[in-house]
Amino acid sequence: MFSSISGWVLSIAGVVSLSVIVELILPEGQLNKYIRGIFSFIIMLVIIAPLPSLVGKNFDFSNISLSEEYELQEDYIYQMNVYKTEALQNDISNQIRQSGYENVVVSVSSDNYATQFKVSAIYVELSNLVITDQAQHTNILDIEKEILQIILSRADVDEAEVHFER
C-alpha cells in the first residue's frame, strides 16, 4: 500500500518537474500555451489514475471521519451569517443616519446556524432619537414610517417582523 502511494507521489512530482523544465525551454507564445495545457491535462490524469483501483476494490468508508468537516462547515456558516447580520445592521443604521436621524439602534435577529440567511426580526430602538436638520419629518409616526421604508428597501423582511421601541 505504501509503495503504491509513494510511486503515485513520485509520478506526480516527475510530471510536474518535466512540465516546468519544458516550460523554461520553450519560448513565449502560442506553442507554450498549448504545451502548458497538455501538461496540465497529463498532471490531472496522473493524479486521478489511482481512483479506479480504489473504487474497484471494496473500499471501507467507516474509517473516514467526517465529523470535523461538519463542525468546520457549521462554524463557517455561523460566522458568515454573523457577518451578514452585522453588515445588514450597519447598512440600515447608516441609511437612517443619512436620512437625518441619529442615535437610532438597529438590531437584526436571524438564525445564524441556518444554511440560508433569513432575517427573523428587526428591532429599532428610538428612545434616544436625535432629529437633525437633514430629517424630513419631526412626527414620530412619520419617522417610523420612513425608517420602515428604509428597512424594507435594504432587507428581505415583512413589515410585521419590524418592531419599534420608543
Residue pLDDT, tens place only, 29-73: 777 777 778 888 888 888 887 776 666 665 555 555 555 555 557
- Please tell me the class of the 68-165 domain: alpha beta
Q: What is the pLDDT of residue 46?
A: 82
Cell of 114: 441556518
- What is the predicted pLDDT for the residue at 147? 93
- Cβ partners under 8 Å of residue 89, min gap 6: 106, 107, 108
92: pLDDT strictly greater than 80: yes
Question: What is the per-residue pLDDT across 102-142, written as a single tens digit (0 to 9) for each?
Answer: 999 999 999 888 888 899 999 999 999 999 988 888 889 99
Q: Looking at per-residue confidence, does 9 or 58 come out higher?
A: 9
pLDDT at 163: 93
Burial state string for 17-50 with b = 16 or more CB within 10 A and e = fewer than 16 = eebeeeeeeeeeeeeeeeeeeebeeebeebeeee
Going from N- to C-terminal start, the domains of the chain cover 2-64, 68-165
Task: Output the pLDDT for position 60.
Answer: 56
**What is the tens place of the pLDDT at every residue in 135-160?**
888 889 999 999 999 999 999 889 99
Question: What pLDDT score does 95 carry?
Answer: 93
pLDDT of 10 > 80? The answer is: yes
Place of cell 435594504: 154
d(CA 15, CA 26): 16
